[in-house]
Amino acid sequence: MNFLDANVWLALLWGRHAHSERARLWFEQAGDEQFLFCRFTQITVLRLLTTEQIMGQDTKSMSEAWKLWDQVRADDRVTFLPEPEDMEKEFRSRSRLSRPSPKVWADAYLLAFACVSGVKLVTFDRALKVRGADVLLL
pLDDT in tens, 82-122: 999 999 999 999 999 888 888 889 999 999 999 999 999 99
Q: Is the pTM of this model over 0.75?
A: yes
Share of the chain above pLDDT 90, in %: 87
Mean pLDDT of 13-33: 96
**Which of the four pLDDT bands, split at 50, 70 and 90, describes residue 79?**
very high
Domains of the chain and any CATH numbers: 2-137 (3.40.50.1010)
Share of the chain above pLDDT 70, in %: 100
> Looking at residue 128, what is its pLDDT?
79
pLDDT in tens, 28-75: 999 999 999 999 999 999 999 999 999 999 999 999 999 999 999 999
> What is the CA angle 84-26-64, rounded to 5?
70
Q: Which residues contact 77 (CB under 8 A, 6 or more apart)?
A: 30, 32, 33, 34, 35
Q: Could you tell me whether strands 78-80 and 35-37 are parallel, antiparallel, or unpaired per DSSP bridges?
A: parallel
